[in-house]
Structure formats: C-alpha cells, structure tokens
Chain A
Amino acid sequence: MSDEAVIVGAEIVAGHDGSAELVVRLRHPNGTEAPVVLDEVTGLKLMKNCGASHVDDLTGQSWRRIVEGS
C-alpha cells in the first residue's frame, strides 16, 4: 500500500457552473477512499500534469499531481 493518497478512479460530472468537472477518487494510506471534485481548469491541468489523455490514465497517480503547479 502507498504511504500517500493515490487516485483510484476518475469520472466526468456536471459542475455547478455548467462546465464539465472531474471527480477523482482518492485512496488514503489508511485504506479509506473519498472523492474530490475538481473544476474544469484544475481537472484539465491534472490530466496534462499526468500526461493523461483519458480519465482512466489518472489511476495510480499521486494526489500531489492535483496541486502541482497550482
């Protein structure tokens, strides 16, 4: 098990402002999982930071990639 939170899934959802947003599911070191909703700009930046061109490519990435360069 990783000693930091990792992304274990991601899904596209509708955001409050009418844009598409990204829900990433994080698994924490203690085994719990929780969703984090990223707005469109942050979600696109995460995909770029991870070199991902499909939401499934985010699986296994560190939570740190979400805040990278922000």
Chain B
Amino acid sequence: MFDLIVRNGLLVDGSGAPAYLGDVGVKDGKITALGKVEGEARRIVEAKGRVVAPGFIDPHTHFDVQLLWDGAARPALEHGVTCVIPGNCSLSLAPLKAADRQRVVGMFQQIEEMPPAAFTEAFDWTWEDFAGYRAAIEKSLSINVAPLVGHSVIRLWVMGPAAQERAATPAEIVAMQDMLRECLRAGAVGLSTSFVDVDENGRPVPSRFAQFDELDALCAVLGEFGRMLQCVPEFYDTDLTIARIDQLSDLSLKHAIPTTFSPVFDNTATPNNVPRTMARVEEQFARGARVWPQMQTRPIDISFSLLRPSLFFARLPRWVRILRQPLEQRLAALRDPDTVEKMVADLGPDGGARMMGRLIVRGGDAAPEAIVGRTLSEIAKARGEAPALALINLSLENGLDVAFLSANAGHEVTERIGPMLAHPLVHIGASDGGAHIASFSTYGDTGYLFSEFVRGSGALTLEQAVRKITAETADIWGLKDRGRLAAGQAADIVVFDAETIGRGEERPVFDMPGEGMRYVRGAAGIDTVLVNGEVAYAAGAYTDAKSGVVCV
C-alpha cells in the first residue's frame, strides 16, 4: 500500500532525459516506485495532461526571518519550490548573541526591507546558536530548507563591534573556524560572504573587513565538510567580478569545495559583462574549479516616486534640477503652473507618452486603489492630461508617495538571456526570495523560466529547464536525496501544466507582521506540490501539511 500515487503524468525526472508517461508511488516520504505503478494508495493525485517533476530548488533566498512565522515561505511553495536556501550574502539569523541582535536586524532590514514588527512581534528569539535557530524554524516547516550560515554573523559572534572595524587576529580566525564547524555540524549547507552589502547606515557588513587569510581559513573548514561558499562579488564591475572568480576558483581548488556567486545579469549598456564573466568561468572550470555563476530568469524593473530623486529622469535637465531640491522647494516647484508647463513641454509634443506612457502605478503606497496596476497612459487619458502632467498631479495629490514602475528595464532581452540560462555552467537562481520585499516581487522566477524560455523562445526544452532547477541545483549544492524523480529520493514533487505555468502579475499585499507591505506574484499552472510525500499545496490552496525539513 502506497501512501500516495501520482497517476498518469508526463514524468520529467530532473535528469534531462526525455519525458515519459507514468506514475510515481510514494511511501514514508520517499519515492518508491516509478513508471507503471501497480497497487493501491491512500491518496491518488491525478496528473493526466500534466507534467510531474521534482520540486524546484531556489538556491538564493533571504527567508531567514519569514520562516519563523511562515513555514511555507509564501508564495515560494505555490510556485512549485520545495526547497529554499536562505542565509545568503553573509547574513543569517544564527549564530547571534542576544546583545548583537539589533545590529543584525539593521542589516536584514537593509536587505529584506521588512518592517521592525517582523523582528519584535512575529516570533520569540529563543536561540543564539545555529542549532537553536534550526530548532526554531523546524517546528512548522511546510517547505524544505537548506540554510547557509553568514560570514558576517560568525565574525560578529567572535569579534563583537570590532567585526565592522578591522581585520581579525589569528586567534579570532581560529575561533571563527570553530564556530563555522559547529554550524556545519548543526545543519548549515555552507557559508555565505559578501564584498558588496552594507548595513542600514551604509557601513560595510562585517564580512567585508575580512582579509584573504580569514576567508581561506574558513574555506578550509568548508573543505572538511565539502560544503558551499556563496559570495556576492563586486558585480557592478566586470573586471572586479573576474578577479573574484579567480579568487573563488583558487579556494575551490585548494579546499575541494563548490563556490557560487551572484548576481550575474545582462544590460544593453554593458553587453560584454556576461560574455566576459562566462569566459572566465569556463576557463576556471577547465582547471577543475567549481565556481558557479547564478543568474536570475526574470527581467529587472525600475521603480521610483517623486519622494526621492531618481536617475530615471537623468535625461530631463529641468526635472533633475527640480527633483533634487529639498522636499519643500520640490513641492513648491511642482505646484507652480509655469514650472509644470515647462516640465511637461520638455517631454516633447507627445507630452511624455513615449517615455512615461507605459509606466505602471504600483500600489502599496498612497496610490488610490482604483489606479493601481494601470498604465500612466490609461490614467492620463481618463484624466484628460498629458502623461507627464498626470504623473506630476497624481504624485502631488498623494503626498508624492506614488510609486511608478518601468517594467523590463534590464536583463530583459529574451534572445540574449535564453542562451545564457541554457549554458551548462550557468546556475539558475539569484531570485532573492524574501528580500527587497517593499521594492519588487522576488517570486515566480521558476514559472517565468517556463513561460518565457521554454514555451516562448524555446531556448530550453522542458526537460532542460526542469533539470536546471532540480537535479542540477541539488548536485551543485550537495543535496543528496533531492532534485530527481527516482526511487529512494525524497518525494518532493510538483505537478504542473506545461501550457500555462507562469508567474502572476505583481501586486502589493499587507501580510507582513505589523501589516507591513510587500510585493508578491502568485503562481499560474501549478496544480499540486508535495513536500516529503505530503500534499502541501493543491487546487490553489495551501494545506496544513508541515512536512518540510532542514534537508542538508
């Protein structure tokens, strides 16, 4: 007797092999039979006309805090993601002494943009060490978690405030090694570090004060466990990124560890960035190094409001001069009819239709509900105004607190991005799930992979796309019983419609502690998600299943 059988699906097993029709039998949380499965089961999931694939693995998230009150990491799970890797970019919530909590909360708020209530109302701080954090999240997981431990917090644990002031002494480096070892034994999947991130005051995070010998010593510990080093390099400069690729490669070879870095993305203004980066990655892999570049699938949007100056207007001199004034003078200028007339005239005879017409009002701020999600062209037409004038007046009517979105402004050329994602050495990830929550949605990248690059451009086959975000990811990270439909593997399974899988429209929701706002995207085309053999999501709703585990 099986616990569950998924019947009559098109099995895409994660290996890249051609899909085939069949069933999947599940017992005790594991896949125990594949193909034509005979026998009875307590539950049947009918999958006729649907793809049955291993659950997707998201290797770059910041769900560290959210997992303490939302064990499904919503909406990640409804997109078919059955395993998330939090703790990226040098930051995790453990190990962390009580006295240092506020300092790390500031760093998290800088990255995640979570409201303060998320850290004061939503959970009890019951831990200081990594094992304690693991125990805290394990109580109610619906999704699997493979947590990284952050270099910055290890440094802070050992050095206190000096972690953001100086290099470590030899004794402090040994203490960091001991702490890392303890975290890896307690279930960390690796170490994350950053050469870029800052805290809420704009100061470099602790990991950025490390000298090479410190990183080298920590990687020696990773080598004892064969675990991952995740890194944020100076991605704004290709030459510096290449230098970091070389450094990561040397660490990979010396300590026999995998390494990964992100973000890597394409912009038309820097068209050589990805090709040069990938050329160096190929060279280093040829040497035997494992240095995986993570690339996101989704395009990058620009968002702004008139509350703060934005480079979005950097081709409009008058707008630049007015918007960089202090708030009172800015408001006075925007209320002056003569000034506004000149600002609108600067856009040319179309009144801004070409440059601003496709801007979308985002919501989640002071924008009236009725206009959220509509384009500035539509709104301007309804108001009988030119788009540029509508932008100014809408902003004035709402205390300037109206956010506008310029969609698909970077990493957006499908014909360029598709082949990059299909490259055998590109690790699809870098979603940043759970971060930047008040700026843009970081969910639905897996759906977008299928809608844009499988169904749309055909840059990847269905089987290739599934492999990229399942077996390949599991192999890169050393998640031994995840990522494949195979006997003995954990029964993390997603059933989806290959014709409709995608991501929904971005929308604001107020579901963070303290009624904090975040942007999310719902899923399309996902029927059923199983986590360790239990149905965690089906027919558009989450179940009560709490079958997620720390899966390292």
A interface residues with partner B (beta carbon < 8 Å):
11-23, 34-40, 43-44, 47-48, 53-57
Residue of chain A at shortest CB distance from B316: A54
Alpha-carbon separation in the docked complex, A67 to B317 (Å): 22
A18 to chain B, nearest CB (A): 5
Is B507 in the interface zone, CB < 8 Å from A? no
**A15-B410, A53-B317 known, 8 other contacts, Cβ within 8 Å:** A12-B312, A13-B409, A14-B301, A18-B300, A18-B301, A19-B310, A20-B312, A56-B315
- Interchain CB contact under 8 A, B263 and A23: no
Given A23-B269, A55-B315: A13 in contact with B410 (beta carbons within 8 A): yes
Which of the residues B237, B406, B411 comes within 8 Å of A37, measured between beta carbons? B237
Q: Which of B207-243 contact A (CB under 8 A)?
A: 235-239
Alpha-carbon separation in the docked complex, A47 to B406 (Å): 22
Flag B259-273 by CB within 8 Å of A: 1 or 0 each.
000010101111001
Alpha-carbon separation in the docked complex, A47 to B127 (Å): 47
Alpha-carbon separation in the docked complex, A11 to B309 (Å): 17
- Interchain CB contact under 8 A, A54 and B314: yes
- Interchain CB contact under 8 A, B311 and A40: yes
Residue of chain B at shortest CB distance from A14: B410
B276 to chain A, nearest CB (A): 11
A4 to chain B, nearest CB (A): 18
- Interchain CB contact under 8 A, A18 and B237: no
Query: What are 5 A-B residue pairs whose CB atoms fall within 8 Å in the complex?
Result: A12-B311, A13-B269, A20-B304, A43-B314, A44-B324
- Interchain CB contact under 8 A, B302 and A20: yes
- Interchain CB contact under 8 A, A53 and B318: yes
Is B436 in the interface zone, CB < 8 Å from A? yes
- Interchain CB contact under 8 A, B439 and A18: yes
A8 to chain B, nearest CB (A): 13
Contacts of B406 in A (CB 8 A): 14
Is B321 in the interface zone, CB < 8 Å from A? yes
Main secondary structure of the interface of A (DSSP, over half): mixed
Q: Which of B482-521 contact A (CB under 8 A)?
A: none
Is B303 in the interface zone, CB < 8 Å from A? yes
Is B21 in the interface zone, CB < 8 Å from A? no
Contacts of B436 in A (CB 8 A): 17-18
- Interchain CB contact under 8 A, B301 and A35: no
Alpha-carbon separation in the docked complex, A18 to B44 (Å): 43
- Interchain CB contact under 8 A, B311 and A14: no
Is B440 in the interface zone, CB < 8 Å from A? yes
Alpha-carbon separation in the docked complex, A57 to B302 (Å): 23
Given A13-B410, A44-B324, A53-B318: A18 in contact with B312 (beta carbons within 8 A): no
Residue of chain A at shortest CB distance from B439: A18
Is B274 in the interface zone, CB < 8 Å from A? no
B402 to chain A, nearest CB (A): 16
A61 to chain B, nearest CB (A): 14
- Interchain CB contact under 8 A, A16 and B314: no
Which of the residues B237, B317, B409 comes within 8 Å of A36, measured between beta carbons? B237
Contacts of A22 in B (CB 8 A): 311, 314
Going nearest first, the 3 A-B pairs with the smallest beta carbon separation are A14-B410, A53-B317, A14-B409
Alpha-carbon separation in the docked complex, A54 to B320 (Å): 8
Flag B425-457 by CB within 8 Å of A: 1 or 0 each.
000000000001001100000000000000000
- Interchain CB contact under 8 A, B300 and A15: yes
Given A13-B410, A15-B300, A20-B302: A44 in contact with B309 (beta carbons within 8 A): yes
B154 to chain A, nearest CB (A): 25
Contacts of A12 in B (CB 8 A): 311-312, 314-315
A9 to chain B, nearest CB (A): 9
Residue of chain A at shortest CB distance from B296: A16
Residue of chain A at shortest CB distance from B435: A17
B298 to chain A, nearest CB (A): 11
Contacts of A39 in B (CB 8 A): 236
- Interchain CB contact under 8 A, B236 and A37: yes
- Interchain CB contact under 8 A, A37 and B270: yes
Alpha-carbon separation in the docked complex, A18 to B411 (Å): 12
A16 to chain B, nearest CB (A): 5
Alpha-carbon separation in the docked complex, A45 to B175 (Å): 41
B289 to chain A, nearest CB (A): 25
- Interchain CB contact under 8 A, B411 and A54: no
Alpha-carbon separation in the docked complex, A14 to B263 (Å): 13
Alpha-carbon separation in the docked complex, A20 to B310 (Å): 7
Contacts of B411 in A (CB 8 A): 14
Alpha-carbon separation in the docked complex, A9 to B218 (Å): 42
Contacts of A36 in B (CB 8 A): 236-237
Contacts of B439 in A (CB 8 A): 17-18
- Interchain CB contact under 8 A, B301 and A53: no
Alpha-carbon separation in the docked complex, A18 to B302 (Å): 5
Alpha-carbon separation in the docked complex, A23 to B440 (Å): 22
Contacts of A47 in B (CB 8 A): 314, 320
Which of the residues A13, A48, A54, A57 comes within 8 Å of B270, measured between beta carbons? A13
Alpha-carbon separation in the docked complex, A25 to B235 (Å): 16
- Interchain CB contact under 8 A, A13 and B320: no
Q: Which of B235, B302, B411, B412 has the most CB of A within 10 A?
A: B302
Residue of chain A at shortest CB distance from B322: A53
Q: Which of B27-68 contact A (CB under 8 A)?
A: none
Q: Which of B285-319 contact A (CB under 8 A)?
A: 300-304, 309-312, 314-318
Alpha-carbon separation in the docked complex, A33 to B314 (Å): 22
Which of the residues A17, A20, A35, A37 comes within 8 Å of B314, measured between beta carbons? A20
Contacts of B311 in A (CB 8 A): 12, 19-22, 40, 43-44
Given A16-B263, A16-B300, A18-B301: A54 in contact with B269 (beta carbons within 8 A): no
